[in-house]
Amino acid sequence: MDRIRIIGGNKLHGTIPISGAKNAALPLMIAAMLTDETLILDNVPRLADVAQLQRILGNHGVDIMAAGKRPGDHEYQGQTLHISAKNIIDTTAPYELVSKMRASFWVIAPLLARMHEAKVSLPGGCAIGTRPVDLLIMALEKLGAELSIDAGYVVAKAPGGLKGATIEFPKVTVSGTHVALMAATLARGTTIIANAACEPEITDVADCLNKMGAKITGAGTPRILIEGVAKLHGARHTVLPDRIETGTYAMAVAMTGGEVQLSGARPELLQSALDVLTEAGATITVNNDGIRVARNGAGISPVTVSTAPFPGFPTDLQAQLMALMTRAKGASHITETIFENRFMHVQELARFGARIQLDGETATIDGVARLRGAPVMATDLRASVSLVIAALAAEGETMVNRIYHLDRGFERLEEKLSACGASIERISG
Ligand code: EPU
């Protein structure tokens, strides 16, 4: 298994190109199943999760072609996928595939909407909590589907097609909103999604669906209105930049000091995180090419932050912020409100000498002057990258094990960081 070796202590200087957003690319690829014409997606990041979803969609008969590089293409440019779900040959998503990636459960929406049936394995637990799918099931039932659970599978049928309805989510859910939105595009009549998630990835998917002929208004607000249409057609869409990758590298620069241009980043996608970084002592400047992050001289100030749905501070940056706060001058408090068990990084950060106490959903971090490199590993994507951030500022060598998780969500992480002066290398085998 590959590992990453980091020798800490170098400041970061240079430019990091920001990739397309994983959490938009995945639902966009799934949305391609709503039409029998070709959906072309540009700026798709080269990630293990994208490759895994390609395999899963292939199982349903979806044809995906990755366009080759053209002269003049930048080496970091994401790939262009041509996705054709002309013939859906299988409406079952088996356990072996769904259990490898939770988001693949969302294929239930286009399968039901277009084929009027689906049999999709329940995804099971995951490292960051129980993560149920009850609200996704509720949304599909509101749209007229009949659902039952049989031997670990959700069996769903809508013999006469889905019907528009009002779906009110009791809590904000990204997965629930994606599934309701996709399913409602082909439902007869009007659907209202109330208390919808406002995450930029939802807006990106809605924009793409509208290009495909859907009639969606209000995406990006808590109330989305969808007028169902009989058919969707092909389209071309560019995946929006990854706000979590942007925030992660911004935290890395705040941690090490230095100055880095995050090329292609869009500040409005992560304003709350940029505000927290400014409070912590970083200087953030917005320019035509993206965002410039610097920390020169000033130390890291402690902050008090709670995660919240968009536009609040994202849970997907909580671990990275905690890594940064391990070196703050004073005590920070970070509360996780979205997932009940997203603190696996705490024990691993302690291996660097960090002082963190957990009390329910709140972590108190007493900043220390020095971290020391150590062998570490983590069991989820964002926790893994928080260890990289700690390692960049730790004295001596850190070996990050099980980097499979990093490859799921960060494109060419070690190349992007070493181009800015970090001492970081992948060790194969
Ligand atoms: N929830 C329910 N019932 C449901 C669905 C969700 O109780 O039927 C709960 C969850 O257990 C959680 C909360 O509602 O406590 C929010 O879950 P949500 O549905 O919003 O999360 P998700 O769609 O499963 C996506 C991202 C996550 C990100 C969260 C929150 C993708 C592929 N995943 O997950 O990203 O943390 O939204 O913003 O878009 C990651 O990229 O590392 C990652 C975990």
Q: Give the per-residue pLDDT at 127.
A: 72
Distance CA 64, CA 68 (A): 13
* Residue 278: burial class (beta carbons within 10 Å; 0-12, 13-18, 19+): middle
For 221-246, what is the mean pLDDT? 98
- With bands split at pLDDT 50, 70 and 90, how would you rate the model's confidence at 174? very high
Q: Which pLDDT tens digit goes with each residue over 336-362?
A: 999 988 999 999 999 999 999 999 999
Q: Give the per-residue pLDDT at 340.
A: 85
> Above pLDDT 90, what percent of the chain?
91
By most ligand atoms within 8 Å of CB, the mutation choice from 19, 22, 23 for ligand 1 is 23
* pTM, two decimal places: 0.97
* Residue 152: burial class (beta carbons within 10 Å; 0-12, 13-18, 19+): exposed
Provide the token pair at 219. Answer: 């995406």
From atom 44 of ligand 1, which residue's Cα is the shortest distance away?
316
Ligand 1 pocket, CB under 6 A: 23, 26, 103, 129, 131-136, 171, 173-176, 197, 315-316, 338-339, 381-382, 409
Q: Distance between alpha carbon 334 and the CA centroid of its chain, in Å?
A: 20
- What separation in Å is there between the alpha carbon of 302 and the centre of ligand 1? 28
**Other Cβ atoms closer than 10 A to 418:** 17
For 86-115, what is the mean pLDDT? 96
For 11-30, what is the mean pLDDT? 98
- What separation in Å is there between the alpha carbon of 131 and the centre of ligand 1? 7
Q: Give the per-residue pLDDT at 426.
A: 95
Cα dihedral sign for 20, 24, 29, 31?
A: negative
Q: Please check whether residue 154 is in contact with residue 120, taking contact to mean a CB–CB distance below 8 angstroms.
A: yes
From atom 31 of ligand 1, which residue's Cα is the shortest distance away?
23
Q: Could you please report the per-residue DSSP string of 341-353?
A: T--THHHHHHTTT
CA distance readout (Å), 28 to 31, 66, 182: 5, 15, 10
Residue 236 three-state SS: strand
Give the chain's mean pLDDT. Answer: 95
Provide the token pair at 320. Answer: 């990275």
From atom 10 of ligand 1, which residue's Cα is the shortest distance away?
131
Distance CA 154, CA 425 (A): 43
CA within 13 Å, CB half, 221: 7
- What separation in Å is there between the alpha carbon of 107 and the centre of ligand 1? 16
CA distance readout (Å), 19 to 89, 98, 182, 287, 293: 32, 25, 24, 18, 17
Ligand 1 atom closest to the CA of 128, numbered from 1: 44
- What separation in Å is there between the alpha carbon of 151 and the centre of ligand 1? 24
Q: Please check whether residue 352 is in contact with residue 371, taking contact to mean a CB–CB distance below 8 angstroms.
A: yes
Distance CA 22, CA 118 (A): 25
Least confident of 74-83, 193-202, 250-259: 74-83
Q: What order do you get walking across the sheet with 3-7 strand by strand?
A: 375-377, 397-401, 3-7, 423-427
Single-letter amino acid, residue 359: D
From atom 7 of ligand 1, which residue's Cα is the shortest distance away?
132
Ligand 1 atom closest to the CA of 338, numbered from 1: 15
Residue 80 pLDDT > 70: yes
By most ligand atoms within 8 Å of CB, the mutation choice from 98, 338, 406, 408 for ligand 1 is 338
- With bands split at pLDDT 50, 70 and 90, how would you rate the model's confidence at 67? confident
**Is 126 designated active site?**
yes
Q: Which pLDDT tens digit goes with each residue over 113-165?
A: 999 999 999 987 667 677 899 999 999 999 999 999 999 999 999 999 999 99
